[in-house]
A and B are shown apart, each in its own frame.
Chain A
Amino acid sequence: MSRALVSESSFVFKEIQDSKRSEPFSKKDLIKVSHKYRSVIHAAIGKVDARNGDEQKLVFNQIEIIWHLCEILFIDIHQTGILLPQLLAWIRWHHPSVNRKTEAILNSSTPHTHSNYWDVVTTFVLRGEVENALNLLKLHPNSKQNEFVIVLELLRKMPVFGGGQALCEYNMRWQAWSNECQFRFESGIDDAHLQRIVGLLAGDVPTFKYVLHLTDTWYHLMVSLLLYTDPTFKEVDISVFAQQCVDIYLSSDPDKELTSFDKILIAAFNYDLMQVIMESSFALKDNWWFVTHFVDLLYNGNLLEFYELVEASKLRESLILDYANSLMSHSSLWLIAVDYFDACPILGKQHLELTLERIPIEDERKALKIIQVAERRNLRELVKSVKKIVSIKWLARNRLGSALVWAIRSEDLALTTHIADLFLKHYTKYRKFPDEDVLYNLGPLMLICDRLIFLGKYNEFSMLRKQCLLQEAGEILVSLISSKISPKFFLPTLLTDSIVLLEAEKQILNSDQTFQILAALEDYTCFNNSENFKDEVDLESFKEKEDILRLAISRNMARSLITL
C-alpha cells in the first residue's frame, strides 16, 4: 500500500468529516471532493516506488478508472440522462497513449507515411476527437482529392450535442448525418483506410470488430460503438450494451477472460452499487482504500440510501474500521488511523482504545502523542496506563526520578507508593534522595497518595534543616512522627533525625512534642519485639541510637519543664 496515497487521502477524508453540516453534501460538493480523491490517486501513481512498482501502478490505475466511472454513474449524473460526453472524457483520460504517438507522427517529415498514421487517425475517430482526426487527415498529400473531401466533410458535419440544444432536434440532425454516413459507406470508397473510417462513422459493427486492437478494452469499444450508433442512449440501456461489447470482446480471442477489474466495471454499468462494493473489496489489493473512501463519500451525500443500500451507516462504519485497522499494522500510520476511527460513531472509540493500547512505546514523545489523542477522546484509563508503562520502563532502568515523575502523572496509587518507598529506602542508605528536583516541584500533586505526602513533607523538613530553620523543621518532623503515616522502615530515620532537634542549643521541641516522639519510639520498639523484625542490622544500629534518643528525650523534657 502506498504511503503517499494513505497520507494524502487522509487529508481529504478528514476535510469531509470536519465540515460539520446539518445538510448532506450537495452534488456540487460531492463532485469536488470526488475530484480531489481522484487527483490523490493520480499523484500516488506518480510516486510509486520504481523497484516494485508495476503491480502497484496497475492497481492504482484500475482504482482511478473505477473511481472515475463510478463518479460518472453514481454522482455526477447529467440532468438529461445523457452519459456519452462524460464516458468519452473518461476513455480519453485513461488512454493517453495516443498523445505520445501523435507527437511522434507530427515530428516526422512525412507524417502520412508514418506506420502509426492511420491507427492514430482511427483512434481519434473512435474517441470522438473529430478535430484531431481532421487535422491529421489534412496533412495527407491527397487530402484535396474527392474521396478525402467527402470523408473530411462527414467528419466536419458530425453533430455535437450541447449548448442548450433540444434533444429531439439533436436526434433529428444526428439521424440525418448518420444516414448520410451509411449511404457513403454502402456506396463504397476505394481507399481502404477511408472506407474503414466511414464504416465507423456509419456505426458498422464489423468495421468496429476489425479495428478491435485500437479499442484495447471492451469498455472503450462500448463507448466508441455508442458514439456512432446511439449517442443519446439512456442509463437504463447501458448494461445491455456493456454485455454486448463484453461478448464481442471475448469472442474475438478465445484466450481472453474477464478479470475481477472487468467485473467491477460491469457491476457499475449495471448500476449495482452493492456489487461494485463487494467486488472491489474482494478483488482490489488496496487494503479497502477504494471502497472505504468511496462509500464514505456517497454516505455523506446521502446517496447510499438513494441507491437503496440497506444499513448504509453500518456498512460505511465497518469498511472504515477495517481500513483503519489495516493502517494500524504499519508502525507509523497510527495517527492517521485515529482520524478514521473518529469517523465511526458506533464502534470507533472502542476500536481506537483497543488499538492505541497495542502501539509499542519506544519513546516518551511518542507516549505523549498517544496520551494527547487519548485525552482528547476522554480515554482516561488508557492515558493512565500509557504513563504507567513509561514509569515502569524507567523503574526497570533504576532511574527513580523519571519513574516517579511518570508514576505521579499516571495517578497510580500502588506504583507511586512503591517508588516513593524506593526514594525513602535510598535515603536511609545514602542520606539523600535520588532526585530532589521532582520533590521540589511536587506541589499539590503530592496529595495523590499518603506515601507521597510523607515523602514531600520529609523533603520539606530536610530542606528546612539544611537552611537551619530548626523551629519550622521541628514542627514538620513531629507532625510526621505523630501522624503515623511513616512506613515502618523509615521510623528509625525519623527518630534519629529528632535527636538533633532535641539536643539543639536552643530549645525547639516543647514537652508535648517530646512526648509524641517518645510515644512513637515506644510504639516502634514494641512493634519490633512483637513482630520479629527481620532487618537485624538496622535494628542493631538503631539499638545504639535508641539509648542516645532516650537520653535526648529526657534531657529535652527536663529542659521544657524548667522553661514551663
Chain B
Amino acid sequence: MLIEYVCNKLSRVRWRPVSDALIQPGFETSFICGTVDGGECNKLMLWSLETSSVDESVDICLRHELPFRGDVTQIIAFDNLAFVTSNVGTGNLYRFSEPSGKLIEMQKWDNLDAYGCTDAVYAPSLNSVIICGKEGAIRIVDINSLNNEPKKSKILSQTSLECIEFLSQNEVIVGNESGHLKVLDLRTNDVSMSLGYSLCIVSCVKKNPSNNHIIASGNDVGVVSLWDLRNNASHLLHISAHSSLISELHYKENENNTIITSSYDGQLLKWILSPSSQFKKVDSIMGKDGDSPINSFHININNDLIFSTDNEALYFGQL
C-alpha cells in the first residue's frame, strides 16, 4: 500500500474513467479528489500515478488543484467530464484538459439544493446528471443543453435524500435520512416503490452491475442490506457489517457477487456473496475497527484501489 499525506481531508476520490477513444499511455492513472471540512479553503485536486523508469516504483503526484466552495459531497467522472456537488448546494461541471492535465470549469450551478447536495449519479441513457439533496428533491442536469435550468422533481421526502443510483432508462432509486429507499419514475415523477425497515440514514446505494433489480445499500449504523426490487420488493439480506456509518459501497467490476464497503469505523471490507445473494465470506482489505474514518474509495477496472481517510492520508494499492 502506497501512502501519501495530502494535508487535506478528502471526502471523495474518483478514478478518471477510460473511454475507448481516449486510451493512451498513462491515461488510466489519474484521479480526482475533493476535500471536506476545509472552511473557506476546500479544493479539488487532480493526482496522477507516475511510475519511475528507473526502478518501476510508483509515486503519487499532484498535477493540478483548484479552489472549491463548500465541502465536496460527490464527484462523478464520465467521458471527459467531472461533475462535483457540494454541501452548500452548488454543482460544478469540469472538463479534463489534455495534454495540460488540468481541470477546466465549464459550468456552475449555484442553487441545486437549498440545504446542500448529497449525492449525484450519471444517467448514460439520458446523458444527464441526477443530483439529490437535503431538500428532499432531485434535480436533473442535461449535459446536452447546459444552459437550460435543471429540472426539479417534487419533494420526495421530508428528510434529506442521502444517496442516489440510476436504475434503468426511467428510474432512479434514492435513500433518505429516515431509512427509506424510494424508486422514482422520472417520467411521471412519482414514487413507485418505497422500502424501509428501520429509522436509520441510508448512506449509500448501488445496483448490481449485471442484475439491475438487485440493490445493495449501506446505512449509518453499519448495516449492508440487499434488496430485490422484483415481486413487490423483498429484502434478501441484512448484515451488520461495520460499527459505524458506511461511507461508500461499490460492486467490484465484473464480479457480481463481490461488494466492497468503507466505513467511518476505519475499515475497508470485501464481501463475497453466494449467487443467491447469501453471505459467504468477508475479507479485510485495510484498517481495523477504531481507525480513522475512511471517507471514500474507488476501484478502477485494473483493480487499482485508492482510498482516503480522515487523518489526511491517501492510500493506493492493488486489490
Q: Which residues of A contact B (CB under 8 A)?
A: 3-4, 7-8, 10-11, 43, 47, 331-332, 335-336, 339, 362-366, 368-369, 372, 376, 397, 399-402, 405, 408-409, 434-435, 437-438, 440-443, 445
Number of interchain pairs (Cβ within 8 Å):
112
CA distance in complex: A276, B197 (Å): 61
12 contacts between A and B (CB under 8 A): A4-B7, A332-B9, A335-B293, A336-B312, A365-B87, A368-B264, A405-B159, A405-B199, A437-B176, A440-B196, A441-B179, A443-B198
**In the complex the two chains form, is B198's CB within 8 Å of A362's CB?**
no
CA distance in complex: A331, B37 (Å): 7
CB within 8 Å for A435 and B37 given contacts A336-B311, A364-B160:
no
CA distance in complex: A440, B199 (Å): 9
CA distance in complex: A440, B194 (Å): 11
Contact with A along B217-245 (1 / 0, CB 8 A): 00010000000000000000000000011
A contact residues around B71 at 8 Å (CB): 362-363, 365
**In the complex the two chains form, is A7's CB within 8 Å of B312's CB?**
yes
B178 contact from A11, A365, A372, A401, Cβ within 8 A: A401
A372 contact from B37, B158, B293, Cβ within 8 A: B293
CA distance in complex: A8, B36 (Å): 18
A contact residues around B67 at 8 Å (CB): none
Give 6 new A-B contacts, CB below 8 A, not counting A402-B177, A442-B199.
A365-B71, A376-B290, A399-B159, A401-B157, A437-B158, A437-B196
CA distance in complex: A310, B177 (Å): 53
Nearest residue, chain B, Cβ from A334: B37
B contact residues around A435 at 8 Å (CB): 157-159, 178
Cβ of B96 within 8 Å of any chain A Cβ, yes or no, is no
CA distance in complex: A331, B199 (Å): 31
A contact residues around B197 at 8 Å (CB): 441
CA distance in complex: A397, B87 (Å): 16
Query: Interface residues of B toward A: which range?
Result: 35 or more
**In the complex the two chains form, is B5's CB within 8 Å of A4's CB?**
yes
**In the complex the two chains form, is B312's CB within 8 Å of A369's CB?**
no
Interface residues of B, dominant DSSP: loop
How distant is A247 from chain B, measured CB to nearest CB, in Å?
43
**In the complex the two chains form, is A3's CB within 8 Å of B194's CB?**
no
How distant is A459 from chain B, measured CB to nearest CB, in Å?
13
A contact residues around B38 at 8 Å (CB): 331-332
CB within 8 Å for A369 and B293 given contacts A7-B5, A331-B39:
yes
CA distance in complex: A408, B178 (Å): 11
CB within 8 Å for A369 and B264 given contacts A7-B7, A7-B312, A441-B196:
yes
CB within 8 Å for A441 and B180 given contacts A332-B37, A369-B293, A397-B115:
yes
CA distance in complex: A443, B179 (Å): 12
A contact residues around B115 at 8 Å (CB): 397, 399
CA distance in complex: A397, B160 (Å): 13
**In the complex the two chains form, is B177's CB within 8 Å of A363's CB?**
no
**Which of B39, B179, B199, B264 has the largest count of A CB atoms less than 10 A from its CB?**
B199
A contact residues around B178 at 8 Å (CB): 401, 405, 435, 437-438, 441
B contact residues around A399 at 8 Å (CB): 115, 158-159
How distant is B100 from chain A, measured CB to nearest CB, in Å?
21
Contact with A along B33-50 (1 / 0, CB 8 A): 000111100000000000
**In the complex the two chains form, is B7's CB within 8 Å of A368's CB?**
no
A contact residues around B158 at 8 Å (CB): 399-402, 434-435, 437-438
CA distance in complex: A434, B136 (Å): 13
Q: Which of B24-63 contact A (CB under 8 A)?
A: 36-39
CA distance in complex: A376, B9 (Å): 21
**In the complex the two chains form, is A10's CB within 8 Å of B157's CB?**
no
CA distance in complex: A47, B136 (Å): 42
**In the complex the two chains form, is A332's CB within 8 Å of B39's CB?**
yes
A contact residues around B7 at 8 Å (CB): 3-4, 7, 47
Nearest residue, chain A, Cβ from B9: A332
CB within 8 Å for A369 and B87 given contacts A332-B39, A405-B199, A441-B199:
no
A contact residues around B179 at 8 Å (CB): 437, 441
Q: Which of B1-32 contact A (CB under 8 A)?
A: 5, 7-9
CA distance in complex: A10, B136 (Å): 39
CA distance in complex: A441, B136 (Å): 17
B contact residues around A440 at 8 Å (CB): 180, 196
Contact with A along B166-184 (1 / 0, CB 8 A): 0000000000111110000
A437 contact from B157, B220, B290, Cβ within 8 A: B157
CA distance in complex: A397, B115 (Å): 10
How distant is A293 from chain B, measured CB to nearest CB, in Å?
16
Cβ of B313 within 8 Å of any chain A Cβ, yes or no, is yes
A contact residues around B292 at 8 Å (CB): 335
Nearest residue, chain A, Cβ from B309: A335
B contact residues around A8 at 8 Å (CB): 5
B contact residues around A405 at 8 Å (CB): 159, 177-178, 199
B contact residues around A332 at 8 Å (CB): 9, 36-39
CA distance in complex: A213, B194 (Å): 81
How distant is A275 from chain B, measured CB to nearest CB, in Å?
33
Cβ of B116 within 8 Å of any chain A Cβ, yes or no, is yes
CA distance in complex: A47, B116 (Å): 33
CA distance in complex: A135, B64 (Å): 45
A contact residues around B39 at 8 Å (CB): 331-332
CB within 8 Å for A402 and B37 given contacts A369-B293, A437-B179, A437-B194:
no
Cβ of B248 within 8 Å of any chain A Cβ, yes or no, is no
CA distance in complex: A549, B5 (Å): 72
CA distance in complex: A402, B176 (Å): 10
**In the complex the two chains form, is A335's CB within 8 Å of B311's CB?**
yes
CA distance in complex: A368, B246 (Å): 11
Cβ of B165 within 8 Å of any chain A Cβ, yes or no, is no
CB within 8 Å for A437 and B159 given contacts A47-B7, A363-B87, A401-B178:
yes
**In the complex the two chains form, is A3's CB within 8 Å of B312's CB?**
yes
Cβ of B310 within 8 Å of any chain A Cβ, yes or no, is yes
A368 contact from B87, B136, B220, Cβ within 8 A: B220
Q: Which of B120-170 contact A (CB under 8 A)?
A: 134, 136, 157-160
**In the complex the two chains form, is A443's CB within 8 Å of B199's CB?**
yes
B198 contact from A372, A401, A441, Cβ within 8 A: A441
Contact with A along B279-313 (1 / 0, CB 8 A): 00000000000101100000000000000001111
